[in-house]
Structure 1
Amino acid sequence: MSQQTLSFVQTKPFRHKVTAAWLSLLLGVVGAQHRYLGRRFWYVPLAFTSLAVLGTLVFEQGLDSLFPNLLILPVSAGIIEAVILALRSPEKFDALYNRQSDQHNQHGWPSVLTAVVAAVAFANISLFWLVHIIMAFYRYMGWLDLSVY
């Protein structure tokens, strides 16, 4: 009979750089990349987003109120982090998140394409939010009323 030994050594999972970047791009508003990377305080973006959505639902002031406009912060942070994660060198990424692993990330087309998609998404979302904030300011000042002219 062979003896079985129990090992309590916990091995950390291998974390893929491109997966972390896509999680940051698509679900960065709730901090999914922080959870995937095993960071402490991963729940902070989730709490911030939840409070902004709850404030929007409770106060029912529409899209011109403060709460929906606060969502630009976690959305932008997630997209910017997607670019940073995608373009970070594999050696630095592995040194931070895959210290005890024998596998290594590689830098290639998936990383570059992820960074390009994230940059385009950031440009579009930033312009949308900028126009939205300017229009809300114009409505607040009464400059969009036809009776003013």
Structure 2
Amino acid sequence: MPPANPHRSKLVVAWLACLLGVFGAQWWYLGRQRAWMVTAFSCAMIVLAQLYPDWWENPPFLMLLIPITAGFTEALIFALKPDDQFDLKYNPASGRTTKTGWGPVILAIFTTLLSGIVVTGGISIAVIYVYTSMGWLDGLVL
């Protein structure tokens, strides 16, 4: 039987947000209500993206940039939030205190690098998709 007031790890929440934030995994871990909405949205967009000839270049796949960006943002917020503030909000009655050290700082650096690559790439794909769909690149020789 799980404890009534589990102690939640700030580092685990930040890792979940960074790597699985597109599905709202950090919301499930924290026990937030309506976590299923993020998961359902992402799964629906992935299923809809499969209906297009190019699964990576279509509106449903590009809509995944919203939860991806939100996940990276939450990962940075959780990683850089002071331990006492995290405990006050997410571990009020666990009886333990969070002592994280350098792990969240390294995670924040990793998240910044990964989010820079993923979000910039996603924006680039979105711009090319819009330009191609509107015919602005017709006749352009690169």
**TM-score of the pair, normalised by structure 1:** 0.84
Query: Structure 1 regions of 5+ residues with no counterpart?
Result: 1-9
Q: Give the aligned CA root-mean-square deviation in angstroms.
A: 2.1
Candidates 93, 96, 108, aligned match of 1:100: 93
Task: Tell me which of 82, 102, 106 is aligned to 2:75.
Answer: 82
Residues 1:19 and 2:12 are matched in the alignment: yes
In the alignment, what sits opposite 2:28?
Answer: 35
Percent identical residues: 32
1:140 matched to 2:125? The reply is no
The answer on 1:51 being equivalent to 2:44 is yes
* Partner AA of 1:110 in structure 2: G
Within the candidate set 105, 111, 118, 2:104 is matched to 111
Distance across 2 between alignment mates of 1:124 and 1:40: 31
Shift of 1:119: 1.1
Distance 2:140 2:102 in 1: 55
Deviation of the 1:136 alpha carbon: 1.3
Q: Deviations over 1:40-87 (max 9, x none)?
A: 1111110110111122123x2423321111010111111110000000
Q: Which has the larger radius of gyration?
A: 1
- Can you give the 5+ residue segments of structure 2 that lack an aligned partner in the other structure? none
Deviation at 1:128, TM superposition (A): 0.2
**Match for 2:132: what amino acid?**
R
- SS where residue 35 of structure 2 aligns? coil
> 3-state DSSP class of the match of 1:43?
helix
- The alignment of Structure 1 onto Structure 2 pairs a total of residues equal to 140
TM-score normalised by length of structure 2? 0.88
C-alpha displacement of 1:142? 3.1
Is the alpha carbon distance of 1:98 and 1:133 closer, same or farther for their aligned partners in structure 2, counting shifts above 3 Å?
A: same
